[in-house]
Chains A and B, each alone.
Chain A
Amino acid sequence: MAYQLLKFALGREYKEPRFFRDCQTPKKSYDAVIIGGGGHGLAAAYYLAKDHGITNVAVLERGYIGGGNTGRNTTIVRSNYLTPDGVSFYDASVKLFEGLSTELDINLFYSNRGHFTLAHSESAMRTMRWRAEVNKHVGVKSRVVGTDEISRACPQLDISCSGKAPIQGALYHEPGSIARHDAVAWGYARGADSMGVEIFQNTEVQGIDVKDGRVQGVHTSRGYIATGKVLSAVAGFTPRVCKMVNLQTPIVIHPLQACVSEPMKPWLDTILVSGSLHVYVSQSSRGELVMGSSLDPYEVHSTRSTFDFVEGLTSHIVDMFPFLSNVKIVRQWAGMADITPDFAPIMGNTPVRGFYLDAGWGTWGFKATPISGKTMAYTMANDRPHELIHSFRMSRFEEYELTGEKGAASVGH
């Protein structure tokens, strides 16, 4: 509430405490070590402490917290997936998100804006119906809508897309939201820290000690840490960490790029996604258009920007909104995404005992932050996968039981 603001004005000294301690020297051992101080890793630490009472936990972050994909994504939260398992999982995430500002006592600017996945062809409309039907079945509010409803929600959108790819309709997903991504990481960090979790920034994991198929500890730039449980929550770096335990996965790293416009008075109230045009766009509470596109077409383990990305994206945005011709893009950036063959994550136990994987998030990691933290904490605490993540188990590949998300994935942000 706004009375909080008065507190700032009345206090002479700035009394706001640290969000989290400045940990420098790790202990010799922890009950669990989490590699990766992004939203997922911090959320797992938070729920380990909160749900399972496991507080003797270290989070190791190579850079600074929230500095990976947590701070690079376009902050969309939704649950309009294709498979019942996917929908249930993300729906649980949306529900956690909805209460998260209160739970973590930090304003995440969780903003329910509604989410339209535009269909420019009959075949895209079929997929929208498929998703809508599955969503409805699981109790998630998604439905197929016509162009009139799209125009009502976003009158500025050129339904013909400059004649190049006329919109036929859309999947409307009412719970679709955006949130302040950094704050999610900070909130979880503060919550975990307050329960005793130690967060080490600028701490690189250099190796993982495995004996007789069991994790023994991790070698870090701050020394050796003994532990029986290690979680890898390092989207973009998963293959590097997996190599430390000699684990091969289907994950390939592709950069995912995004860009942001200069601030303008808010006019775009909804989140728009177009698979055919490879575009997703929303307007932040700062007034910037936050935009992304599909994955880069080849594997690179770096966050370099390319000009072709921004050229392609802007040409499609201008097809949708011709009046933006002279509005300017301020900044572009990139993250590294773990890509799996079936566009679903890999979560749970692995053949290496005590090594848990929270990976393969493709372009959907941010929206899963709370639920991945919660289910991975459960999985680590009980050494068996949470029921919500059964279909995301790694062994599904050798079992030829891939999840069905691939069926609908063109662009799925």
Chain B
Amino acid sequence: MSMRLPKQAGEWISRDKTVRFTFEGQEYSGYEGDTITSALWAAGVKVLGRSFKYHRARGVLSFANHDVNVMVTDGNDTNIRGDVVALGNGMQLDAVNTDGGVLKDKNKYIDSLSPLLPVGFYYKAFHKPARLFPFWEKIIRKAAGLGVVNFNYPRITKRKLNKHCDLLVIGAGPSGLSAALAAASEGLEVVLVDENQSLGGSLTYDYAGSESSRKILEELQAKVAETANIHVYTGAYAAGYYADHMVPVVTAKGITRVRAKAVIVATGVFEQPPVFHNNDLPGVMLGSAAQRLINRYAVKPFNKGVVVTANAHGYRVALDLLNAGAKVAALVDMRAEGQRDDLVGELVRKGVKIYPASCVYEAVATSDKLGVQGAVIFPFDEATGQANPGKSVNIDCDGIAMSAGWAPAAALLYQAGTGMGYSNDIQQFVPNCLPAGVFAAGRVNGVYCLQQRANDGMRAAAEVLRYLGKRPPEVTVDKHQGPSPSHPYPFVEHPKGKNFVDFDEDIQIKDFVNAAKEGFDNIELMKRFTTVGMGPSQGKHSNMNAIRILAKIRNLPVEKIGTTTARPFFHPTPFGHLGGRSFHSHRLTSIHAWHESAGAFFVDVGAWSRPAYYQQAGKSKQQLVQEEAQAVRQTAGIIDSGTLGKIEVCGPDAALFLERFYTGKFADQKVGTTRYALLLDEAGVVVDDGIASRLADELFYLTISTSNAAAVYREMQRWLQIWQLNVGLVNVTGAYGLINVAGPAARDIVGKLVSIDLSDAAFPMGAACETEVLGVPVRLVRVGFVAHLAYEIHMPSAHGLNFWLALMEAGAGYGIRPFGTDAQRLLRLELGHHLAGYDTDGLTNPYEIGAESALAMDKPFFIGQRSLKIIGKKKVAKLLVPFVLPQEYSGEMPQDCNLVIDGAAIKGRVTSVAYSPAAKRIIGLAYVDPARNQPGMVFDIRTDNGSIVKATVVETPFFNAD
């Protein structure tokens, strides 16, 4: 039976655009503008989902983005919220969390088992005997969760934007709209956000029956539309409040991080369900939900209904129902005094019977338990909260609208650090101490009268202007008059329970009572034990009622109970939105394209991509790495080392600076030479090592290992500030390219390009100079890290490829071969050099790697020196030594990080191990017992498969260079 109404004045649907869809296999149609729920309800479908725990039938509850029991899947996406997600043509929808469909859910039997499953039952069952728990756990895990995830769902990248404004107004109801307009008229740039598709907040449903309120709404909407400095985001929710007024605003398209100078929270209130037996049946809904159905979507909530209320709002709901052509069989007012204004007369004139001082004791379920067939009304003693069974009235109806009170939508205020106090005038938490730059207006601020809500918006805007240094006129807001909009205790006990407080988690009144009996009688423990508020709606309709129940149990005023902490997000927010377009930055040298075309296999080193080795068809990595290394030993190899950190230290105090920064001496270093530079931290731990080339009296050029470059430069900057030396630091890591040509033919190859004398006498190991190559100024350094004869050429990085090509050409006749980081690691190992960060870890001190010779302990100061004086008094715990395996060794190849074992004790580990084609045996570095560090001594390495290999300590280099 169609529940669609004739055109309603402010309706959000487009009747000329029909939308066809299916739900649980049945075909339906709705209109563009419908949500899934409104279209189904219009089509007369009332069972929209099943509850999480007991699998009870559920329909509309809030119709405000917390109908968590109405989640559907379209086969592609899951956990789609029917109450707010727009209907799309061709959607094929099914309810989640059912076994066999929403009507015939095979799990509905769990409802009748509910007495077996009291609060916290799972803590008390299934664990004995322990061996059976995995069996029970499988069953429990099968029952867990809501929707089924589609593993083929595509990756979606949403944009994440940044927006700056003077004022962010969250909520475009009467107070938010008034606030935005007032602030904008004073010239502020305003962002106005509302989660609905249309501005107006409660004006789009609550006062919708009234001509005058519609006029107010239209005027406000028109004014906002013509105000250029109000930027409106509809269909957008403020997901959370973060430090310094940053509020991510979420729409279907993505997230905008709004950074405001001030924020007005005008988020309104959530209607709270009164609690009675079967208050969850499809057809029982909040009054505001009924109004939304009628006034936004032109859908009749039910044909003949009962309104249960404890405030004026319920009377307006009844009027809206009557206007929509529904019969109102009774209006049940829980208050002893009932309502005392014109609304009463109006309803009575329209034939509605009013039951003051009464309650709905239970909703009577239809025989199939899928809907309402009546309501049982009992007199209600407001003072004691007791229903009196004496004079009950049974009323036939197919729906119940509930309006007993509200809870502030104050999550953002809490997150901002707002102090909230409980107002007995309105039985609601209201802000009483707002953080700087954060303001509240409207019902979330405890202001209920429509005119005063607009005033309150203007008042908040005036406070914002004052906060921003302007002088606006004072705006006053009248204090709340008349009866409270919320009932202090709208709960009706029932021997059969099923009076739901939390619809997400199926939590009933007795669950709270029992939790308290077991000692979980403060709000946080109660939340954890009962799981109230932990479902997807995050307590929007349950937290306040939980607090009221606990206050009653403990016989304390509500404010003594306090609230649980409100965490982001306001509404659940998709991974894809939050992740957005992730920035995966990376650095490439100017030779990258060449490496790629030469078959390089790249590895990430910090932000850089570096060739690990160059692939060739039919050859293994192992083979290629050996070949690349052999080329260096036999003729020449070439490697792109442009990723190394490069720092210039210049100025009169340059040498002094380095003497303090590094462990060695630099003051007496001759121009044109290089020195080893070892950096420690203040605890004496090895941080990095590199090479310092003195290019002029006042110019040192440092190379730093790739992954430490940025950190070392930062530390140089920091210490320079502390020491106040006359030094300039220039980080030229990206500005210079670096190519290393190594091997016996290196001199001949490099000599083809450079004009200076490269002979050992003129340019020995450790020499460095500035010269010109190919007409370009370069820095040339003779190094010995991977081979005894090797040259580093440092050139402006845009010339890197040219130099690479020129060197390849120059070396062609010698069989020059590019090599990657894998071969480099092997080559330096063959020479016995350790790699900082590879052969050391975050706690290694220089004594453990045998670096005493690099420590100028006689200097007045260097970073880490004082700690070394302490460490130096202690016995070294482990020592890095070079080792070899017997040439004939044919067992399992030891790997890096295999342990050095002595009986039952771990003595150390292998840090580098490889087969050396030059030494023709397996060589490596390992930490060993310091007592076993002498050449010729033997220690045990345990390989992956557990076998013990005898390794022998040797001296380096591992092979005879001649």
Interface of A toward B, CB cutoff 8 Å:
1-2, 4-6, 8-9, 14, 16-22, 63-67, 71, 84, 98-99, 101-102, 105-112, 121-123, 126-127, 129-130, 133-134, 136-137, 144, 156, 162, 164-165, 180, 182-183, 186, 201-202, 261-267, 284-288, 304-307, 310-311, 314-319, 322-333, 341-342, 400, 402, 404, 406-407, 409
Q: For residue B154, which residues in chain A have a CB less than 8 angstroms away from its CB? A: 322-323, 325
A and B contact pairs by CB, cutoff 8 A, 13 listed: A4-B124, A14-B118, A14-B510, A66-B525, A106-B124, A133-B898, A136-B946, A286-B144, A305-B415, A307-B240, A322-B154, A327-B149, A329-B573
Interface of B toward A, CB cutoff 8 Å:
52, 77-79, 115-118, 121-130, 132-134, 136-137, 140-142, 144-156, 160, 240, 242-243, 246, 248, 257, 415, 510, 513-514, 517-522, 524-525, 528-529, 535-536, 538, 565, 567-569, 572-576, 578-580, 582, 584, 603-604, 612, 683-684, 838, 841-843, 867, 870-871, 874, 895-899, 901, 906, 909, 942, 944, 946
Task: Knowing A121-B604, A314-B578, A331-B567, say if A8 contacts B240 (CB, 8 Å).
Answer: no
Contact of A99 among B130, B146, B156 (CB under 8 A): B130
Task: Knowing A130-B897, A265-B149, A315-B580, say if A287 contacts B843 (CB, 8 Å).
Answer: no
Rounded to whole Å, the gap between the CB of A175 and the closest CB of chain B is 14
Task: Knowing A331-B567, A400-B683, say if A311 contacts B580 (CB, 8 Å).
Answer: yes
Rounded to whole Å, the gap between the CB of B572 and the closest CB of chain A is 3
Closest to B129 in A: A1
| Cα distance A106–B133 in the bound complex, in angstroms | 12
A107 touches B148 (CB 8 A): no
Rounded to whole Å, the gap between the CB of A83 and the closest CB of chain B is 9
A133 touches B843 (CB 8 A): no
A5 touches B125 (CB 8 A): yes
Q: For residue A263, which residues in chain B have a CB less than 8 angstroms away from its CB? A: 52, 144-146, 535-536
Rounded to whole Å, the gap between the CB of A322 and the closest CB of chain B is 4
Q: For residue B906, which residues in chain A have a CB less than 8 angstroms away from its CB? A: 84, 134, 137
| Cα distance A327–B145 in the bound complex, in angstroms | 13
B518 touches A16 (CB 8 A): yes
A404 touches B909 (CB 8 A): no
Contact of A314 among B132, B567, B579, B612 (CB under 8 A): B579
Closest to B415 in A: A305
Greatest chain B CB density within 10 A among A1, A16, A316 is at A16
Instruction: Rank and list the top 3 A-B pairs by shortest CB-CB distance, nearest first.
Output: A287-B145, A325-B576, A315-B579
Closest to B877 in A: A401
Task: Knowing A64-B522, A71-B528, A201-B522, say if A323 contacts B115 (CB, 8 Å).
Answer: no
Task: Knowing A99-B130, A130-B897, A322-B154, say if A8 contacts B572 (CB, 8 Å).
Answer: no
A406 touches B242 (CB 8 A): no
Contacts between the two chains (Cβ within 8 Å), count: 280
Rounded to whole Å, the gap between the CB of B142 and the closest CB of chain A is 8
B522 touches A264 (CB 8 A): no
Q: For residue B584, which residues in chain A have a CB less than 8 angstroms away from its CB? A: 164
A304 touches B243 (CB 8 A): yes
| Cα distance A330–B116 in the bound complex, in angstroms | 29
Task: Knowing A14-B510, A71-B528, A267-B149, say if A342 contacts B128 (CB, 8 Å).
Answer: no
A406 touches B842 (CB 8 A): yes
Q: For residue B149, which residues in chain A have a CB less than 8 angstroms away from its CB? A: 264-265, 267, 323-324, 327
Task: Knowing A325-B156, A333-B567, say if A1 contacts B575 (CB, 8 Å).
Answer: no
Q: For residue A64, which residues in chain B have a CB less than 8 angstroms away from its CB? A: 522, 524-525
Rounded to whole Å, the gap between the CB of B357 and the closest CB of chain A is 31
Q: For residue B514, which residues in chain A have a CB less than 8 angstroms away from its CB? A: 14, 16
| Cα distance A99–B131 in the bound complex, in angstroms | 11
A19 touches B121 (CB 8 A): no
Closest to B146 in A: A263
A2 touches B575 (CB 8 A): no
Q: For residue A341, which residues in chain B have a CB less than 8 angstroms away from its CB? A: 683
| Cα distance A286–B137 in the bound complex, in angstroms | 11
| Cα distance A318–B154 in the bound complex, in angstroms | 10
A4 touches B525 (CB 8 A): no
A305 touches B568 (CB 8 A): yes
Q: For residue A202, which residues in chain B have a CB less than 8 angstroms away from its CB? A: 522
Q: For residue A126, which residues in chain B have a CB less than 8 angstroms away from its CB? A: 896-897
Contact of A265 among B125, B146, B535, B580 (CB under 8 A): B146
